[in-house]
Structure 1
Amino acid sequence: MNFGPHLPSPTRFFLFSAIVLVLLFLISPAWSGTAPLSRHLDWKRTYIRTGLDEHLEYDIFAKAMEGLQRWDFSKPHLLTIIDFTRPSYEKRCYVLDLKRQDLLYRTYVAHGRNTGMTYARQFSNTPNSYQSSLGFFRTGETYRGKRGYSLRLDGLEEAINDLARKRGIVMHGADYAGKSFLNKNGRLGRSLGCPSLPPTIHARIIRRIKEGSCLFVYAEDSGYLSSSTVFASPSG
């Protein structure tokens, strides 16, 4: 693509980048959210600059960004995405610094024992279901319990995950979420519904995202997508 030698290099780079972003947006999976095109172009730029485009579908990232605008967070520049469309033997937890446009962490995360074996299939907001919950959460305070250094989570979506704190759904480290367990079993172990992280990295992640950042847990679950106020159509 040749913009001509008479254009300064920064101008040529800007034009080329703009065209690339538009093309990437046009070929992306269909997105039914309400965000305008200009916002999507900003999101797409962040998506590419963080390197997230190599690991996560843009549609999931855009959904996370859509929800990030709906609630107040004291740390709005930090976003954690858990992609339960992927099996547990893949790294499916991403921690982003949106201000610096940096992918801080990409690691493994376990799901609930009654949510599925290798893949996360069933989700719940019910106490003692031992299932994971989907949707948007705000990170809370830390504490030290039987699982060590842990992070409380507050579910933000009514009837979807708003009982997270009552259920004791927290982020913590666990041996069954680590590489050794994975190498031995071909998948991660399962929790009682908590998003459990590898014990070698969980404390660093918790310290970074605690007290007011956004966590988005996603799966291609029609029940969630149709009932979430972030994504459900106005007609129902």
Structure 2
Amino acid sequence: MASAPVRAALEVRPIQISVRPTLDPAGLIRPELLSRAREALDFHAGRIANRDRIYLVDFAMHSAEPRLFELNMISGEVEAFRTAHGRGSDPEHSGFAHRFSNVQDSHQSSVGAYLIAGPGHGTIHGPNVLLDGLDYTNSLARQRAIIIHGADYAEPDFLAREGKLGRSFGCFSTAHADLHTLRQRMGEGRMLFAFG
């Protein structure tokens, strides 16, 4: 009969394997955007308390396309919404954002990582989601009142009529129904990352 140490050495022990989900299995998010967002999530780890979901905006896409992505970091699944860009980012109103700024009254969208600061309610746009810029490219977001809000020019009937969304003053404007969904899901302490 084998001694106790030998028996212990012969026992089969289960191996712990940590399996990460495949992020965005449908391939909706541009790989460069996803890579940069993951880098930003790690860089700002001390500020981002909730890492179960992140939000990404692809300003390289036309405004008619769903380009605000909710990425579930646990399941890997993605849901997409439409969002407008600033009129200063697209002066010709082509539907594509070409310029980005962190300057007051530029009416341009800002790129970079944002901390989602929770639901708010304003006198002009009503219900919204508050954002704080974490990078030099968007550090004045709160002073510029860059938020996520609902807008008639982001509604499906406007898109059907015009072939593109209208333009904001730099905010991430969405359809009112999408804003309702996003306000509930975004909560507070998650990251939104915008990239052109």
TM-score range, shorter chain: 0.7 to 0.9
Amino acid in the other structure paired with 1:62: S
Q: 2:36 maps to what in 1?
A: 63
In structure 2, the CA distance between the partners of 1:95 and 1:173, relative to structure 1 (3 Å rule), is same
Secondary structure of the 1:99 match is coil
- CA RMSD in angstroms comes to 1.5
| Alignment pair present for 1:153 and 2:131 | yes
Task: Tell me how far apart the structure 2 counterparts of residues 99 and 173 of structure 1 sit (CA, whole Å).
Answer: 28
Ranked by relative contact order (alpha carbons within 8 Å, sequence separation 6 or more), the top structure is 2
Q: 1:203 maps to what in 2?
A: 180
Task: Tell me how far apart the structure 2 counterparts of residues 215 and 110 of structure 1 sit (CA, whole Å).
Answer: 15
- In structure 2, the gaps of 5 or more residues are 1-18
Q: 2:82 maps to what in 1?
A: 108
Q: 1:194 maps to what in 2?
A: 171
Superposed CA deviations along residues 76-108 of structure 1, whole A, max 9, x for unmatched, are: 1111010011111111110111113222x3111
Matched pairs, number:
172
Task: Tell me how far apart the structure 2 counterparts of residues 173 and 62 of structure 1 sit (CA, whole Å).
Answer: 28
| Alignment pair present for 1:137 and 2:114 | yes
Q: 1:125 maps to what in 2?
A: 102
Secondary structure of the 2:118 match is strand
TM superposition outliers: structure 1 runs of 4+ over 4 Å = none
Please identify which structure carries the higher helix content: 1
Secondary structure of the 1:46 match is coil
Amino acid in the other structure paired with 1:56: I
Task: Tell me how far apart the structure 1 counterparts of residues 162 and 188 of structure 2 sit (CA, whole Å).
Answer: 34
Secondary structure of the 1:164 match is coil
User: Does 66-75 or 167-176 show the bigger shift?
Assistant: 66-75
Task: Tell me how far apart the structure 1 counterparts of residues 83 and 57 of structure 2 sit (CA, whole Å).
Answer: 8
Task: Tell me how far apart the structure 1 counterparts of residues 23 and 62 of structure 2 sit (CA, whole Å).
Answer: 25
Task: Tell me how far apart the structure 1 counterparts of residues 182 and 104 of structure 2 sit (CA, whole Å).
Answer: 26
Secondary structure of the 1:166 match is coil
- In structure 1, the gaps of 5 or more residues are 1-40, 220-236
Amino acid in the other structure paired with 1:147: H
Task: Tell me how far apart the structure 1 counterparts of residues 40 and 171 of structure 2 sit (CA, whole Å).
Answer: 21
Deviation at 1:42, TM superposition (A): 5.3
| Alignment pair present for 1:178 and 2:155 | yes
Secondary structure of the 2:89 match is coil
Task: Tell me how far apart the structure 2 counterparts of residues 147 and 102 of structure 1 sit (CA, whole Å).
Answer: 30
Superposed CA deviations along residues 163-196 of structure 1, whole A, max 9, x for unmatched, are: 0000000011111111110011111000010001
Q: Is the 1:112–1:191 Cα contact (8 Å) retained in structure 2?
A: yes
Superposed CA deviations along residues 4-38 of structure 1, whole A, max 9, x for unmatched, are: xxxxxxxxxxxxxxxxxxxxxxxxxxxxxxxxxxx
